[in-house]
Each structure stands twice: as structure tokens, then as C-alpha cells.
Amino acid sequence: MNTFITAAGVALIGLMLLVLIRAIKGPTVIDRLVAINVIGTKSIVLLLFAGILFGQLEMFVDIALGYGLLNYIVSIAASRYYQHRKSLEPEHSPGGSPVS
């Protein structure tokens, strides 16, 4: 059981890395927002997996809840930011790609 949970956790981290590439590269704002959300949601599951691994699930449920609630605010804040500051078009910079 523990081996399975560990493997699943490692797989989740790998998936988070893939999504992170989308969050950094963009190119559109929607890509980034969805990527931020997906990372947050996976993090909650990862916290619960860690709780099972450490044998203290009831403590990690609290942490996961707190993280989930705050992650929601981060998502809202990020989308507000893009609503105010940017259009939903791909960002263009002198170098062609938005990030180095």
C-alpha cells in the first residue's frame, strides 16, 4: 500500500512538472491560469498522500483544507490581475517568446 502511494505521489509530482512548463511558457493567459489551478489541485492530493505515508492523515486533512482554501484565493487573484492588466491574447515581447 505504501509503495503504491509513494509511486502515485512521485507520478503526481512528475505531472505537476509537466503542467508547470505550461504555466511558465504560456503562451496565453488561460494556459497559465488553468496550469496554476491544476498545480494547486494536485498539491492537495499530494498532501493527503503524504498524510497516508506518515500515518497522520487527520493532521494532513487540516493542512490540505487550509491549502485548498488559500489556493482558491491565489487563483482568483491571478485571474483578477490578468483581467485588469492584460488582454487574453498571447503576450508578445521583443524577443518573440514571453520568457527567456
Of 38, 32, 33, nearest to 16 by C-alpha is: 38
11 near other proteins, rule: CB under 8 A: no
Site for other proteins in 16-45 (CB under 8 A): 16-17, 20, 23-24, 26, 32, 35-36, 39, 43
Among positions 15, 18, 62, 92, the unique one binding other proteins when judged by CB under 8 A = 62
Q: How far is the CB of 27 from other proteins (least distance, A)?
A: 11
- Sequence length of the chain is 100
Task: Enumerate residues 6+ apart whose C-beta is below 8 A from 89.
Answer: 28
